[in-house]
């Protein structure tokens, strides 16, 4: 695949990002494009490795190793190297409905499992994917492709995040009439309101895909909150099948002293409000605003990074990010071998911007918050942190233990809780009487996606728990396949 000696001749190279001092002044995407010659050289680095782990998509040590949607990565790397961009796009769309999303927001477990990455920097798979789909849009190769015939079957998808969108796209391509219900004012779910604009542009990237799906025949119904202004039984009465793709949107809370103070918010509440304000007229109209404030983000991961980047763009006074886990090593640890996802230290875009603003990475590790302290008006003004160590309890489980004498009071007029999610919200599942597992996720076997209610399927984070966008797409496509089989007796969907 690619040039046989390409991995020897060419070094890994990525496009230069817009400098932090420039990009924090707006909400535009921060990546630059790379010229075609360099992209073809990067495609040439893909080895003829024999067993390409990059597209395996297995769980190893609880983390994705390789691409969960099984992208044909060596094939389109080779096609890019040869300048066959349209053919590369065709290969890409065989497995991925939305490479314009994953090419921007996926953490690229494929690169973590690249064979070249054993002893060299891996192939720039994610950037090549992004470049293929953007060239496809530029050249007019991405266009509406509605099904030639309709089956007469009516299917509804509840939720328009990555699982719901991929499920709807696949079911529509099979000829079913698909209606997507979304409780927010715009479709997209996590992609619309959970990821800020500088990572995934809403008008130029997300909505162009939504509009393409509409042109292909998918109907979107927004402001449709099942159990509130939409009767749950409508799905059983008026549709031949239903796929629940509501995500895992119940946030993990921090029930400590002062939690009820004003200025302490869940991260998604903050990010959603900011994106809504941006789309409705301007970011200065956001209900939760960081301007002039000391911001503390509790939790790491992509959501924490997005809160850091957003608060800087809003003009915060300072930003601190608190992580309870230890700082990752610079290189793979012995217990984290290839092809596992490399748990190593990284500076994401938000931390880079904070380092530019404040002179250092905003993260502190092995630290937790003991209490929030408010002023006379009930507004948070500071918080108390303490350092921790991880020790085994009597069951052999690692638990955090406070380090005596390490308490510290820190200023904070805005606190954002970005500590992950506990599962799907339960009201709609109660209404439909859908069975759940011990973790409160919908009980439906992987690769089958059938619930205890005939004709109702489940996919994505509401079934598997909080996970990656690529896993959501994997499950949305899989649920569409099984739903089509249920409706028609057989299926041609992959």
Residue 416, token pair as written in the block: 């954002």
Closest CA to 258 of 151, 384, 363, 111: 384
Residue 385 has phi, psi (to 5 degrees) of -110, 165
* Predicted pLDDT at 298: 98
Class of residue 254 by CB neighbours under 10 A (exposed 0-12, middle 13-18, buried 19+): middle
| Domain assignments of the chain as residue spans, ordered by start | 6-139, 154-249+422-488, 253-419
Q: How many residues does the chain have?
A: 494
pTM of the model: 0.95
Helix (H) or strand (E) holding 22: helix 20-23
Residue 203, token pair as written in the block: 């008008």
Q: What is the DSSP letter of 489?
A: S
Nearest-angstrom CA–CA distance, 459 and 478:
8
* Predicted pLDDT at 236: 87
Burial 114-135 (b: 16+ CB within 10 A, else e): bbbbeeeebbbbbbbbbbbbbb
For helices 207-215 and 162-173, the axis angle rounded to 10 degrees is 20
Nearest-angstrom CA–CA distance, 210 and 104:
17
**Torsion angle, alpha carbons of 167, 197, 282, 287, to 10:** 80
Helix (H) or strand (E) holding 314: none
Does residue 2 contact residue 78 with C-beta atoms inside 8 Å?
A: yes
Nearest-angstrom CA–CA distance, 491 and 494:
8
Does residue 371 contact residue 255 with C-beta atoms inside 8 Å?
A: no
Could you report how far apart the first and last alpha carbons of the chain are, in Å?
Answer: 24
Nearest-angstrom CA–CA distance, 377 and 15:
48
Closest CA to 95 of 79, 76, 123: 76
Q: pLDDT of the chain along its 494 residues, tens only?
A: 678 999 999 999 999 999 999 999 999 999 889 999 999 999 999 998 988 999 988 889 888 899 999 999 999 999 999 999 999 999 999 999 999 999 999 999 999 999 999 999 999 999 999 999 999 999 999 999 999 999 999 999 999 999 999 999 999 999 999 999 999 999 999 999 999 999 999 999 999 999 999 999 999 999 999 888 998 889 989 999 999 999 999 999 999 999 999 999 999 999 999 999 999 987 778 889 999 999 999 998 999 999 999 999 999 999 999 999 999 999 999 999 999 999 999 999 999 999 999 999 999 999 999 999 999 999 999 999 999 999 999 888 999 999 999 999 999 999 999 999 999 999 889 988 999 999 999 999 989 999 999 999 999 999 999 999 999 999 999 999 999 999 999 999 99
Nearest-angstrom CA–CA distance, 382 and 405:
18
* Predicted pLDDT at 292: 97
Residue 42, token pair as written in the block: 């990067």
* Predicted pLDDT at 1: 65
According to DSSP, the residues that pair with 379 across neighbouring strands are 262
Report pLDDT digits (tens) over 182-209. 999 999 999 999 999 999 999 999 999 9
Placement of tokens 């990455």 in the chain? 117
Residue 242, token pair as written in the block: 């239903």
Closest CA to 209 of 126, 101, 89, 107: 101
State yes or no: cis peptide before 339, omega within 30 of 0. Answer: yes
The bridge status of strand 264-266 relative to strand 250-251 is unpaired
Class of residue 348 by CB neighbours under 10 A (exposed 0-12, middle 13-18, buried 19+): middle
Instruction: Kindly report the CATH number that applies to the domain delimited by 6-139.
Output: 1.10.1060.10
Q: Do 253-419 and 6-139 have the same topology in CATH? A: no
Residue 74, token pair as written in the block: 């060596």
* Predicted pLDDT at 63: 87
Residue 237 has phi, psi (to 5 degrees) of -90, -40
According to DSSP, the residues that pair with 257 across neighbouring strands are 371
Homologous superfamily of the 154-249+422-488 domain (CATH): FAD/NAD(P)-binding domain (3.50.50.60)
* Predicted pLDDT at 111: 97
**Which class would CATH give 253-419?**
alpha beta
Does residue 81 contact residue 44 with C-beta atoms inside 8 Å?
A: yes
């Amino acid at each position: 695949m690619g040039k046989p000696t390409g991995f020897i001749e060419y070094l890994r190279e990525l496009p230069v990002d817009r400098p932090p001092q420039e990009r924090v002044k707006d909400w535009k995407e921060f990546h630059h494009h790379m010229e075609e010659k360099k992209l073809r050289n990067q495609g040439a680095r893909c080895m003829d490795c024999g067993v390409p782990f990059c597209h395996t998509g297995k769980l190893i040590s609880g983390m994705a190793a390789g691409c969960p949607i099984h992208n044909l990565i060596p094939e389109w790397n080779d096609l890019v190297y040869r300048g066959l961009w349209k053919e590369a796009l065709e290969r890409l769309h065989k497995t991925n409905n939305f490479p314009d999303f994953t090419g921007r927001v996926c953490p690229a477990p494929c690169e973590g499992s690249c064979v070249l990455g054993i002893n060299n920097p891996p192939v720039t798979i994610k950037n090549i994917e992004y470049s293929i789909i953007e060239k496809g849009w530029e050249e007019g190769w991405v266009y509406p492709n509605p099904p030639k015939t309709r089956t007469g079957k009516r299917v509804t998808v509840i939720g328009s995040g990555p699982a719901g969108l991929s499920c709807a796209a696949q079911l529509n391509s099979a000829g079913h009439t698909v209606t997507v219900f979304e409780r927010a004012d715009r479709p997209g779910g996590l992609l619309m309101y959970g990821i800020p604009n500088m990572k995934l542009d809403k008008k130029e990237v997300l909505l162009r895909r939504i509009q393409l799906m509409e042109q292909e025949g998918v109907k979107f119904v927004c402001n449709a909150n099942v159990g509130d202004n939409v009767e749950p039984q409508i799905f059983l009465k008026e549709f031949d099948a239903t796929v629940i793709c509501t995500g895992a949107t119940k946030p993990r809370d921090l029930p400590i002293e002062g939690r009820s103070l004003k200025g302490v918010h869940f991260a998604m509440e903050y990010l959603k409000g900011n994106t809504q304000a941006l789309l409705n007229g301007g970011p200065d109209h956001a209900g939760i605003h960081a301007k002039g404030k000391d911001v503390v983000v509790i939790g790491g991961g992509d959501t924490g990074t997005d809160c850091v980047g957003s608060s800087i763009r809003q003009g915060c006074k300072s930003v601190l990010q608190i992580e309870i886990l230890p700082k990752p090593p610079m290189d793979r640890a012995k217990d984290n071998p290839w092809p596992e996802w490399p748990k190593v230290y990284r500076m994401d875009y938000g931390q880079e911007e904070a380092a530019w603003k404040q002179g250092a990475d905003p993260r502190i590790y092995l630290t937790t918050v003991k209490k929030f302290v408010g002023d006379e008006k009930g507004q948070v003004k500071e918080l108390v942190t303490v350092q921790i160590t991880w020790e085994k309890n009597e069951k052999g489980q690692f638990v955090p233990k406070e380090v005596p004498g390490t308490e510290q009071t820190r200023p904070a007029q805005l606190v954002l809780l970005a500590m992950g999610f506990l599962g799907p919200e339960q009201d709609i599942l109660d209404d439909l009487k859908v069975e759940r597992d011990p973790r409160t996720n919908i009980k439906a076997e992987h690769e089958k996606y059938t619930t205890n209610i005939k004709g109702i399927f489940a996919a994505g984070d509401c079934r598997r728990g909080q996970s990656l966008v690529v896993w959501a797409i994997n499950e949305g496509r899989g649920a569409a396949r099984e739903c089509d089989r249920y409706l028609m007796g057989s299926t041609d969907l992959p």
